[in-house]
Structure 1
């Protein structure tokens, strides 16, 4: 019975260059052909126990082992490495490739797990995080705010600000220093609308619809409370009395709450909490408008009409 191959500790967990490992005397080419190792790219391997075809970080590390100088992980992949997961997940679709920005002189080897774009990145646009060259937090936000479709771009900016990957002030300064770039007008507009309190991409999309329709700006993540003891204020103050509910979006002046109902609201425990929340809101004189992904994505005009009608009725 043969013994399992001894695995060098420094090669146990992350992708590595096969030629460098062989040159360092850690492995032989014959060993790399064995079942203990998985080949990811030409001359790039990972230990079989650490291989996960859906591990985006693993593929990012592997891709950068073959990048030329001046290249960097970019866009959605850079955001992922900064802790902001915006990767699309659609049933039956292929895994998202690693997004990489290249200097114009580079001629990469094509691979289905890597998507290349040519970008003239400045030296200060690239940093290193856990050994991986990637765009800085502010440059990542700058790129996503311009390259993604408008609603997705707003969701990306909301998420990057929420996770403190960058700040509005830093991004504004970067935008001001790079006028005339492609789709900079979209980024400037969305930067004014970006809201770190927004908790999901769909909530960002929902918030954009009243804005585009010319309706008043709703307050995100609003806490509905009873009036403070001795107060003459009405129910709905964001400070003071007993907490009743926190709603995705609110028009406090009209006691209108707007909620996005994701799939997690179908879970039994969440459903029970929602029943209690909405009963409490109703008892306090609030109107709760609840919308699903279909409403946001496919029936947006009807959604806007519903909100507009509610404002008209409550403003009378």
Structure 2
């Protein structure tokens, strides 16, 4: 069987079924066993230039080629495809199988099983996935409260799911596994949360009894916009912000200084926290916010 000198572009970029490439005369099995092609899954290959071991999209494409009828990409994989920041390093591809479908185990594969009506399936970016609504419903019932809330917040922020619709969907399915966790998540979900760490910081403060607080509050002074702060107690003019690593960049740092000075001039107190403050020093973080709240309340009472 003759093989074209140039590999078709689709084979040079995306994963493909080896058996199909061979049957179409594009490659031979001998070629597939050579150094140019990387075997990802049984009968699924990718060109070595398109191989990225940690590239989740590549693995989603590969797994989709092996899905049995009725199965879809789901969970964190579906959420990531919708644009939500929910993946950890080397995360496996999550697949949802309807009974009695089966898939061969693989280290890059996380297989889940659940009823999957046609209304909960869709196609996005060319791949079969759970709908955004079903994806949020599933992730809100899994893991810890923080993990579930982070996932739901991330999907809400992408505007692929609306909170009232998710609440109604969950209310119609009260007996599903993890439903109590989801109900708790839905009492705290915030579409305005801008990052997973901002969600974790908000949850830390709410768990400490420091709510209610307002997300992404717009500060104005004299009728003019001053800044938008991550979390706020507007009546006390107290703000809490999460600072990611990008705040260390010189240009960002300079903007932060000017912004912080403008907030102080408007009478606001701003507390800023890093990932270590949230994850490694949560008690100290809560204590600082609690003290600031007490001081602001005392100051307000004296005016």
TM-score, length-scaled by structure 1:
0.87
> In structure 2, what is the equivalent of residue 244 of structure 1?
226
Which of 208, 216, 220 lines up with 2:211 in the alignment? 216
> Higher mean Cα deviation, 106-115 or 286-295?
106-115
> In structure 2, what is the equivalent of residue 41 of structure 1?
41
Whether the 8 Å CA contact 1:5–1:36 is kept in 2: the answer is: no
1:72–1:282 CA distance, 2 compared to 1 (3 A): same
Q: Distance in 1 between matches of 2:236 and 2:212?
A: 13
> In structure 2, what is the equivalent of residue 55 of structure 1?
55
SS in 2 for 1:20: helix
SS in 1 for 2:240: strand
> In structure 2, what is the equivalent of residue 205 of structure 1?
200
Whether the 8 Å CA contact 1:248–1:257 is kept in 2: the answer is: yes
Q: CA deviation at 1:137?
A: 0.6
SS in 2 for 1:151: helix
Whether the 8 Å CA contact 2:133–2:166 is kept in 1: the answer is: yes
- Deviation per CA, 1:23-77: give whole Å up to 9, x if none: 2333322232333322111111122222222221111111121121222111111
Whether the 8 Å CA contact 1:70–1:103 is kept in 2: the answer is: yes
Gaps of 5+ in 2: 299-303
Whether the 8 Å CA contact 1:248–1:258 is kept in 2: the answer is: yes
The number of equivalent residue pairs is 296
1:41–1:270 CA distance, 2 compared to 1 (3 A): same
Whether 2:246 is the aligned partner of 1:264: answer yes
- Deviation per CA, 1:155-209: give whole Å up to 9, x if none: 1111101111211122122112211111212212222321121111110111112
SS in 1 for 2:164: helix
> In structure 1, what is the equivalent of residue 188 of structure 2?
193
SS in 2 for 1:171: helix
Whether 2:155 is the aligned partner of 1:160: answer yes
Q: CA deviation at 1:98?
A: 0.9
Q: Distance in 1 between matches of 2:188 and 2:45?
A: 44
SS in 2 for 1:164: coil
> In structure 1, what is the equivalent of residue 80 of structure 2?
80
> In structure 2, what is the equivalent of residue 237 of structure 1?
none
Whether the 8 Å CA contact 2:68–2:102 is kept in 1: the answer is: no
> In structure 2, what is the equivalent of residue 145 of structure 1?
140
For 1:221-232, what aligned pairs fall within 5 Å after superposition? Answer: 221-227=216-222
> In structure 1, what is the equivalent of residue 301 of structure 2?
none
- Deviation per CA, 1:193-226: give whole Å up to 9, x if none: 2112111111011111222222231111122221
- C-alpha RMSD of matched pairs (Å): 2.0
Q: CA deviation at 1:122?
A: 2.1
Whether the 8 Å CA contact 1:38–1:45 is kept in 2: the answer is: yes
- Deviation per CA, 1:216-243: give whole Å up to 9, x if none: 311111222212xxxxxxxxxxxx22x2
Q: Distance in 2 between matches of 1:107 and 1:222?
A: 48
> In structure 2, what is the equivalent of residue 232 of structure 1?
none
> In structure 1, what is the equivalent of residue 237 of structure 2?
255
SS in 2 for 1:278: helix
Gaps of 5+ in 1: 90-94, 228-239
For 1:93-112, what aligned pairs fall within 5 Å after superposition? Answer: 95-112=90-107
> Higher mean Cα deviation, 119-128 or 137-146?
119-128
